[in-house]
């Protein structure tokens, strides 16, 4: 009987650890953990804007991120097939996205799709169809980028 309790305990621990790993996805505004940096690189954050950033690995997923002067993340993107969000991944079909709110065509990228999520889905295609596949995911908060720059400039002036 003690073995059964031990097995149940181990399974409970594994379940809890799996649940916690879901919450360890990168978030905008979080500080960049330098231990996750793979390399420094120029990052395309829009079809016409390149920023200094980093390629990082977090929970076996490769991301591109940009940080502000306080090392807070303001841009995240991934093309990694290991990334999963709301049961979607790179290669998921357009028809699998629930609650589509905005379909916006951006020259140079294709279609950017928004729903209830904070992640945006990009389809590199000239026409969006139910059979179109997600090319990459991204999050961007320009306020995090500009707020920190303004705060830094104010500190320098005084």
pLDDT tens, position by position, 117-148: 889 999 999 889 999 999 999 999 988 887 54
Domain spans of the chain, in order of start: 2-157
Contact 123, 136 (CB under 8 A): no
Domain 2-157 has CATH 2.40.50: no
Task: Provide the whole-model pTM.
Answer: 0.75
Assess contact for 102 and 113: CB atoms under 8 A: yes
Contact 85, 119 (CB under 8 A): yes
So what's the pLDDT on residue 47?
86
Q: Which residues contact 84 (CB under 8 A, 6 or more apart)?
A: none
2-26 pLDDT, tens digit per residue, is: 776 666 665 555 554 444 444 456 8
pLDDT score, position 46: 87
């Amino acid at each position: 009987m003690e073995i059964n309790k031990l097995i149940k305990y181990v399974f409970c621990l594994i379940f809890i650890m799996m649940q916690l790993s879901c919450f360890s996805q990168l978030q905008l505004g979080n500080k960049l953990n330098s231990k996750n940096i793979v390399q420094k690189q120029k990052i395309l954050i829009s079809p016409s804007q390149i920023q200094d950033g980093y390629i990082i690995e977090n929970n076996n997923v490769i991301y591109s991120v940009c940080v502000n002067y306080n090392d807070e993340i303001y841009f995240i993107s991934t093309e990694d097939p290991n990334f999963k969000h709301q049961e979607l991944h790179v290669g998921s079909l357009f028809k699998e996205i629930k609650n589509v709110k905005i379909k916006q065509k951006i020259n140079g990228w294709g279609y950017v799709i928004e729903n209830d999520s904070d992640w945006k889905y990009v389809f590199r295609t000239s026409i969006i169809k139910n059979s179109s596949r997600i090319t990459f995911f991204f999050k961007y908060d320009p306020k995090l980028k500009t707020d920190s720059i303004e705060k830094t400039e104010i500190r320098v002036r005084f």
